[in-house]
Chain A
Amino acid sequence: MEKQLIYLDNAATTKTRPEVVEAMLPYFTEVYSNPSSVYEFAGKGKSAVEHSRDIIAGILGAKSSNEIYFTGGGSESDNWALIATAEAYASKGRHIITSKLEHHAILHTCEYLEKQGYEVTYLDVDEYGLVDPASVEAAIRPDTILISIMFANNEIGTIEPIGEIGAIAKKHGVLFHTDAVQAFAHVPINVQELNIDMLSASGHKFGGPKGIGFLYLRNGIRLGAFVHGGSQERKRRAGTHNVPGIVGMGKAAELAAAKLEETMTYEKTLRDHLVQRVLTEIPHVKYNGHPEQRLTNNANFSFQFIEGESLLILLDMQGICASSGSACTSGSLDPSHVLLAIGLPHEIAHGSLRLTLSEEITKEQIDFVVDELKKIVVRLREMSPLYADFIKENQ
């Protein structure tokens, strides 16, 4: 019997929806024109690009479609937002506020800016991974030019108080960027209501293709280009438009937005079932992230006394795709910075497991995963000297 594939790593990437692929295909072989060209044949590509821009602007509640700039993905959007803001506002100041929970696309860009003479405040988070809006306000200085706080965390799923932070940023006249790579098309976002000035997103995280993303940039913010060259994207992002990618991302956003509530309800029901079973049926487990204020498709556990990579290999043997914040899976000696930021001791962080669902996952599959997980955890604990010591100490 062929092993069934149970894909529970949707925070890493998602399956490109068949409707999305179908929508993209004509833009490879039929409408392959460069949308920047003059002839009529270029027009179809151009209108397809603009249609996607309209869809995304609509979902975000942007004032205008020209506030959406297509990029090569979430990392590029993050790099652009931070570096271009730093450069454009250097005369005002050189201080940036972010959090310890951010994706490396933000953290490593901040480290790069520190080498360029900028100062960065990395805010602590609480045990659930929440940034305290009061700590954001307290960190603002006269030379603060940007606040960048992620919308939802990729590892533990915690959704940050973006509206409160946006209001604080607005009150103090500081620009506010949010990395919404995990959140866009997964939770409702209105950039005007939340006072977001810049927002990064990536197509492949919500059923679109890889290699395409966008940056929402509120009109009136004067940022320079990040990729220099042609005059595409109002001279702010050079490079021939990735027309199939843009069409695919637009289609994926449209599909996701159309049934956002339905998907969220479905995922939450399944996720809650998963969490409930794991917490009641497996001893010595910690549920990481905020219990309520989190992405509906994310569950993150730490299993005491065992190590994440071993867990992943044994799950993989059963066809289950998952991820872990253990050092062994990152190729470094330290476990995930996110798990350390929420205060987990190293040995607990090493035993973490992230399961991220999609609307394609069934309850039967979740039950199968929990059943396998139970056996695997027992097996690895039998092998663990830490568990042996724990048992001895508690006899």
Chain B
Amino acid sequence: MEYSKKVMDHFMNPRNMGEIENASGVGTVGNAKCGDIMRIFLDIDPETHIIKDCKFKTFGCGAAVATSSMATELVVGKNINEALQVTNKAVMEALDGLPPVKVHCSLLAEEAIHAALWDYAQKEHITIEGLKPPKDDISEGEEEFEEE
């Protein structure tokens, strides 16, 4: 697999790997059937809505781990509206690109951040403009696949 040096660095030395206890928001996306599951934990200041900390756990390939790691780095310090603007493209660019078959990993990273923000918004009873509910509930996803 042709990975960039940055992807390899984030895979070998993942940043912010772990969990946050009593996180402000948690999002899990992907599904085991496809071989990638990402879980993002956010610690958000309820006053300023600034992301103080972000951690991840990922089941997946090298690119899945690297995009999770990079995504956590990109959102820490941003407020929730800014964090929403962290796209899969931004994650990919920050990693100096991904092989074409791995682009979906960066999409998953974006979705995981969104899912965690959605969880936060639900808990805080706030609306984050432009944020859609996560589409990728793992159990639902699997059921859908089973029916095929």
Binding site for B on A (CB under 8 A): 305-307, 309-310, 313, 317, 326-329, 331, 333, 335, 345-347, 350, 382-388
Contacts and interface: CB of A to CB of B under 8 A. Distances in A.
Contacts of A350: 32, 35
Contacts of A307: 35-36, 59-61, 64
Contact of B11 (A310, A329, A347, A382): A310
Interface in B1-23: 1, 8, 11-12, 14, 17, 19
A346 B33 contact: yes
Contact of A305 (B1, B59, B63, B64): B59
A305 B37 CA distance: 10
Contacts of A327: 34-35
B57 A346 contact: no
Nearest to B57: A385
A335 to B, nearest CB: 7
A202 B61 CA distance: 31
Contact of A385 (B1, B59, B61): B59
5 contacts: A310-B65, A328-B35, A333-B34, A346-B35, A384-B59
Contact of A313 (B1, B28, B38): B1
Contacts of B65: 310, 383
A319 to B, nearest CB: 15
Contacts of B59: 305-307, 347, 383-387
A307 B39 CA distance: 15
B32 A388 contact: no
Interface in B47-83: 57-65
Contacts of B57: 383-385, 388
Nearest to A347: B32
Interface of B: 1, 8, 11-12, 14, 17, 19, 28, 32-39, 57-65, 101
Given A307-B64, A386-B37, 10 more contacts: A309-B1, A310-B62, A310-B65, A328-B62, A346-B35, A347-B33, A350-B35, A384-B59, A385-B37, A385-B38
Nearest to A313: B62
Contacts of B60: 307, 310, 328
Contacts of A384: 57-59
A270 to B, nearest CB: 28
B138 to A, nearest CB: 10
B16 to A, nearest CB: 11
Contacts of B37: 385-386
Nearest to B64: A307
B39 A385 contact: yes
Contacts of B11: 310, 313
Contacts of A326: 35, 61
A384 B17 CA distance: 10
A311 to B, nearest CB: 10
B58 A385 contact: yes
B8 to A, nearest CB: 8
Contacts of A345: 32
B61 A383 contact: no
Given A310-B65, A383-B65, A335 B58 contact: no
Nearest to B38: A385
A235 to B, nearest CB: 43
- A-B CB proximity, top 5 nearest: A347-B32, A328-B61, A309-B61, A385-B57, A385-B39
Contacts of B32: 345-347, 350, 386
A383 B17 contact: yes
B118 to A, nearest CB: 17
Nearest to B102: A328
A307 B57 CA distance: 13
Nearest to B105: A328
Among B35, B63, B101, the one with the most A-chain Cβ atoms within 10 Å of its Cβ is: B35
Contacts of B17: 382-383
A35 B38 CA distance: 60
Contacts of A329: 1
A329 B63 CA distance: 12
Contacts of B35: 307, 326-328, 333, 335, 346-347, 350
B19 A331 contact: no
A312 to B, nearest CB: 9
A329 B34 CA distance: 12
